[in-house]
Amino acid sequence: MIDLRLIIGVFFVIVGLLLLTVTGARAPLTPGPVNLYMGAVAIAFGAVMCALSLRSRRSK
C-alpha cells in the first residue's frame, strides 16, 4: 500500500516552493505578502506529512 502522507507531503512542499517564487504579487485588497505566508504554511504542512510518513516507515 502506498503511503498517502508522503504523496500529500511532497505535493504541498512543491506548492509552497512555487508560492515562494511570487512573494511580491498583490491583489487590490491583499493585506501583505500572502504568497510568502501561505508558501511557508504549505511547506510546513508538507514537511509534517513527510515526517509522519517516514516515522511510520521506520517503526515498521
Partner 1 sequence: MQFHLAAIDYALLGVYFVFVLGIGWLLRRRVRSSEDFLTSHHSVPLWITSLAFIAANLGAQEVMGMCASGAKYGAMTFHFYWAGAIPAMIFVGVFMMPFYYGSRARSVPEYLKLRFDEKTRALNAVTFAVMTVFSSGISMYALGTLLELVLGWNFSACVLLSAGIVLVYTLLGGLTGAIYNEVLQFFLIVVGFAPLAVMAVSKAGGWEGMAARLPPPMTHSWQYLGSASSNPMGVEAFGLVAGLAFVLSFGYWCTDFLVVQRAMAANSMSAARRTPLIAAFPKMIMPLIVIVPGIAAIALTNAGVGYSLPTKGGSYDYDQTLMTLMMQFYPSGLLGLGLTGLIASFMSGMAGNVTAFNTVFTYDLYQSYVRPGASDAHYLTVGRFATVGGIAVSIGAAYFAARYNNMLDVLQLVFSFVNAPLFATFMLGMFWRRTTGHGAFTGLFSGTAAAALVHGATLAEGKGGWITNAHTFPSVMAQNFYIAIAAWTTCFVVTALVSLATRPKSDEEMRGLVMGLTEIPTDAHEPWFRRPGPLAVIVGVALVVINVVFW
C-alpha cell at 34: 500572502
48 sits near partner 1 (criterion: CB under 8 A): no
b/e per residue 10-40 (b: at least 16 CB within 10 A): eebbebbeebbeeeeeeeeeeeeeebeeebe
Give least dist CB 2 to partner 1, A. 5
If one asks whether residue 19 binds partner 1 (CB under 8 A), the answer comes out as yes
Kindly state whether residue 47 participates in binding partner 1, applying the rule CB under 8 A. no
* Contacting positions for partner 1 (CB under 8 A): 1-2, 4, 7-8, 11-12, 14-15, 18-19, 21-22, 25-31, 34-35, 37-39, 41-42, 45
